[in-house]
């Protein structure tokens, strides 16, 4: 019997993208195109920060790698958008409206059809998107861990301590000032080191590094994913294990939003979807949605896939299980609850909700209130 060889995933992605591109070219050339078609170039909305632009260009490179005709057609055009989160740098996000401030204006442009789709750091997205929009695509996750970046005066001694077997947090001197705008990071550090002091430090990656070098604080924290994407991984002095610092939900994942009605774009983006990123993102965002704290509630969520002791069944995740860690804390570190759940990756939504309900049931009610 003749056997049929199934194409591998990259080949399938390439075929899908080529089909979409061919259809786009056909519609462009048609003297009677359908009224619902998109004109080229497609407009890609993004924040204007250096990291956001790097992520957007990496996404477009991936989209065109499998189908060069999209690149040759000049099919995409960047549209940087200045968001509220970028405009106000003197206060914490919680004080100026909180959730979704790095996506608000971008999504308004998407709904107004001023752009065709938008590229985001997934951790910047609100858990419930505006009506009419959907998360169409999640890309392969970069390293989700947080890192400590130290002032020049502390760097060498701190690295020597860690090399000798000490915890990275032991590298911080008593009463050190940490430049930070994240209540999640602050709560976890204060839980272990209540002597630390915190000052507001916001801005893009380079701005924060410049302020640290200028003596604004003794140390700061950043996401390793952002440093890697900017080619600045060497600036990470101490990488914090997720056991020590639970990452933010969605950290290290790039997500793309579109209008729910745009079936062509949904089909196009599905061709580069990363199934593992979708599974872990689904679990983390479900956890976040159930907890639904105020913008001042420190919440962490980190999912990953690990090998099963006994693989069973068939399918994409047959040999792996999903492990989700959730965290709820007080901003001052006086309360700190961390739990874990595991199960089938196909049950990511249920696992996230179940862990969220468990954490919420055993946390003080006032933690989830906005004391504004």
Catalytic positions, please? 124
How far, CA to CA in Å, does 361 sit from each of 74, 107, 335, 342, 358?
A: 52, 33, 14, 19, 5
- The backbone torsions φ and ψ at residue 166, rounded to the nearest 5 degrees and listed phi first, read -80, 160
Give start and end residues of each alpha helix (H) in 42-96: 50-65, 68-72, 84-87
Tokens for 181, please give them: 């705008």
- 99 and 295 in contact (C-beta within 8 Å)? yes
Q: Which of 115, 106, 128 is nearest to 47 (CA)?
A: 106
DSSP assignment of 189-235: HHHH-TT-EEE---S-HHHHHHHHHTTS-SEEEEEHHHHHHTT-GGG
- 348 and 283 in contact (C-beta within 8 Å)? yes
How far from chain centre, in Å, is Cα 302?
A: 11
Q: Which of 192, 180, 184 is nearest to 294 (CA)?
A: 184
Dihedral sign for Cα 12, 16, 18, 19, please.
Answer: positive
Q: Give the separation between CA 228 and CA 302, rounded to whole angstroms.
A: 19
On the question of a cis peptide bond just before residue 41, with omega within 30 degrees of 0, the verdict is yes
Total Cβ atoms within 10 A of residue 70: 23
Place of tokens 């994913």: 225
Q: Give the separation between CA 82 and CA 105, rounded to whole angstroms.
A: 7
């Amino acid at each position: 019997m003749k056997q049929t060889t199934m194409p591998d995933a990259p080949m399938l992605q390439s075929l899908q993208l080529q089909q979409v591109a061919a259809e786009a070219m056909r519609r462009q050339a048609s003297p009677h195109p359908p009224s619902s078609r998109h004109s080229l170039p497609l407009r890609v909305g993004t924040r204007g920060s250096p990291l956001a632009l790097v992520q957007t260009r990496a996404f477009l490179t991936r989209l065109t790698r499998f189908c060069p005709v999209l690149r040759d057609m000049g099919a995409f055009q960047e549209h940087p958008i200045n968001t509220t989160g970028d405009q106000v740098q003197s206060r914490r996000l919680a004080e100026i409206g909180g959730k979704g401030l790095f996506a608000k204006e971008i999504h308004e442009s998407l709904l107004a059809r001023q752009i065709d789709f938008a590229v985001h750091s997934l951790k910047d997205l609100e858990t419930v998107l505006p009506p009419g929009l959907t998360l169409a695509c999640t890309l392969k996750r970069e390293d989700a861990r947080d890192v400590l970046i130290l002032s020049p005066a502390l760097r060498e001694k701190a690295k020597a301590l860690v090399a000798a077997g000490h915890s990275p947090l032991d590298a911080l001197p008593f009463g050190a000032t940490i430049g930070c705008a994240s209540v999640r990071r602050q709560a976890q550090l204060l839980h272990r080191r209540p002597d630390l002091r915190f000052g507001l430090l916001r801005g893009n990656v380079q701005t924060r590094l410049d302020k640290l070098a200028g003596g604004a604080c003794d140390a700061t924290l950043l996401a390793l994913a952002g440093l890697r994407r900017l080619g600045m991984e060497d600036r990470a002095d101490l990488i914090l294990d997720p056991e020590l610092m639970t990452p933010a939900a969605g950290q290290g994942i790039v997500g793309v939003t579109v209008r729910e009605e745009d079936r062509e774009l949904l089909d196009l983006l599905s061709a580069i979807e990363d199934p593992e990123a979708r599974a872990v993102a689904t679990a983390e965002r479900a956890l976040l949605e159930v907890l639904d704290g105020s913008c001042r509630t420190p919440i962490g969520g980190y999912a990953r896939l690990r090998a099963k002791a006994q693989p069973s069944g068939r399918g994409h995740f047959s040999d792996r299980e999903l492990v989700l860690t959730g965290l709820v804390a007080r901003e001052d570190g006086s309360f700190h609850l961390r739990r874990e759940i595991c199960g089938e990756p196909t049950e990511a939504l249920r696992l996230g909700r179940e862990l969220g309900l468990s954490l919420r049931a055993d946390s003080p009610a006032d933690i989830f209130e906005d004391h504004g």
